[in-house]
Amino acid sequence: MTTIAPPVFSSSTTRAVTNAPVVSITSPIGGRVVEVNTGGDGNLPLATIENDRVDRSTLIGLTIELTSLQNDLALKQSIHADYLRRIADLERDLNRQQAAIIIRSDNDLRNAQAHLEIVSLSSANEKNAAERKLGLVKKGVIAGNRDELANTLRLEDTKIVAARLRVEMLSADLGNARSGIFVGGEQQSLQDLQREIRNVKADRSQISIQTATIQARIDQLKALAKAEEERIAKLVRADVAISTQAKLFKTVAQVGKQVSGGDTLAESVSCADAFVVAIFSERQAQSLSLGASVTVEADGWDSPVLGRVERLVPKTTERVDLDYAVPFPPTERRELYAFIAPDEAHSDNGVVNKFCGVGTWVTVSMPKTWVVWTRRQFDNTSSALAGYAGQLRQHLAAFTDAPVAGPSEQARITRVSPRGARLAANTTLAVAMKPDSTSIQAKAL
């Protein structure tokens, strides 16, 4: 006959299953599903949606306006180039006529300077003769009119002044011609050329302003058209992918199906948030607390996995598993749910993948409270005995003048002997099972 020993050292439950929150993968656009990847190939998109009914009226309007502005810009640039050529031709004509005026004015100036020299010499001779004759008349040597002779002297002085003024006027005209200042009726054609050049330059400046305004508007429309093209490209075709931290759970989309923006294409589970939901009785749950360590194992796993209790959910009439991949196992009276996550200190990709395999039934074991307490007491007692042995060795060495043990010898001495460890274990176990006993130490010895 065989008997089954009660779970003295641990408490476990087989009503536990791996689970994870479900994340819906939705369609970013409306359209028709043209491709679905159910093989789980991470290099391929999960689904591809195409939409041939995208409204392109805005892009068409922008393109038409952009084309019109580009034509206007080309016309303005052509007019601007014509103005530049016209200004260049007028300035060449003005320069040629200005050069001719400068040459003529220079010749007139030199002629006036020569005439001034002639008048100066002639006037000097006439003045000498008139002054000599006036002196003879005053002495009564010859007959003559004194006023007439005085007027002759003033006339000669006036001739010199007039010739000098002519030189100064022609010198000023030459300076004005060289500076581009043209006055008088003879230089009316040059004035007309200058006026026409100013008018054409003003028109050119206005065309330049219009060209810059049109160019700025074209740049703005190009940016808007580019943004609209990118928006249409996103609406025409969309590739939906799954995160590398998630695992495909269920595919909803089908090839050829018409979907709208926000429709669910597939469901995934987040491996980073995977956990085990286990059912414990309220009596078992007395040993549970948030952060308590448990062991999780399954038939298909190569080794058990350490986990920690993250949440305790009492029995309720409301559904608490609607957002998870697998329905929670049903509970009975005086039972509750325990959410168990992988222990971060001992978790790696392999552990996460085990927990991410949602729907796997597992066994969750937790040590009895008295076992945990006994193990802690055993560790504390062993450490205390080891320290006491070391101190005793030091005292004996001091009384007997024996050499103090080195580090390696001290380490060997402070190890707990099998008998000391057995004594500590029996003592701790007895205290745990029967704290009021007074003969535990004697029995252990």
389-399, pLDDT tens digit by residue? 777 777 666 66
Share of the chain above pLDDT 70, in %: 76
12-50+248-366 has which fold?
Elongation Factor Tu (Ef-tu); domain 3 (2.40.30)
What pLDDT was estimated at residue 435? Answer: 43
402 DSSP 8-state letter? P
Alpha helix ranges (H) inside 315-362: 349-356
Highest mean pLDDT among 39-43, 90-94, 188-192, 343-347: 90-94
Are the C-beta atoms of 375 and 341 separated by less than 8 Å?
no
pLDDT of 248 higher than 80: yes
Q: What is the pLDDT of residues 18-62, one digit of tens each?
A: 888 888 888 888 889 988 887 655 567 888 899 988 889 999 999
* Terminal-residue alpha carbon distance, the chain: 36
Given this model, what pLDDT does residue 65 score?
Answer: 95
Q: Between 361 and 148, where is the model more confident? A: 361
Amino acid 40: pLDDT: 57
The sheet carrying 264-270 orders its strands as 22-26, 264-270, 246-251
Percent of the chain with pLDDT over 90: 17
Place of tokens 């390696």: 408
Indicate whether 192 pLDDT > 50. yes
Domain ranges of the chain: 12-50+248-366, 58-214, 372-444
Please tell me whether residue 107 adopts helix, strand or coil conformation: helix
> Which range (126-140, 277-291, 322-336) has the least confidence?
126-140
Distance, in Å, from the CA atom of 266 to the CA atom of 248, rounded to the nearest integer, reads 8
| Mean per-residue pLDDT of the chain | 78
Higher-confidence residue: 44 or 204? 204
Do 280 and 335 touch, CB atoms closer than 8 A? yes
Give pLDDT, residue 178.
83
Look at residue 99 and tell me whether its pLDDT is greater than 70: yes
Q: What is the DSSP string of 37-82?
A: --S--TTS-SEEEE-S----HHHHHHHHHHHHHHHHHHHHHHHHHH
> Which residue do the tokens 């009276």 mark?
333
- Residues listed for the chain: 445
Judged against a pLDDT cut of 60, whether residue 193 lies above it is answered with: yes
Between 375 and 7, the more confident residue is 375
Query: Which residues, 6 or more positions from 112, have their beta carbon under 8 angstroms from its beta carbon?
Result: 163, 166, 167, 170
Mean pLDDT of 355-369: 79
Question: Other CB atoms closer than 10 Å to residue 172's CB: what's the count?
Answer: 14
Strands (E), 128-231: none
pLDDT of residue 213: 96
Pick the CATH number of 58-214 from 1.10.10, 1.20.1070, 1.10.287, 2.60.120: 1.10.287
Residue 9: the pLDDT is: 39
* Residue 216 CA: distances (Å) to CA of 6, 60, 66, 67, 68: 87, 20, 11, 14, 14
In the prediction, which pLDDT does 198 show? 92
Bigger pLDDT: 291 vs 214: 214
Res 94 pLDDT > 80: yes
Identify the three-state secondary structure at position 33: strand
Contact status, residue 50 vs residue 259, Cβ threshold 8 Å:
no
pLDDT of 130 above 80: no
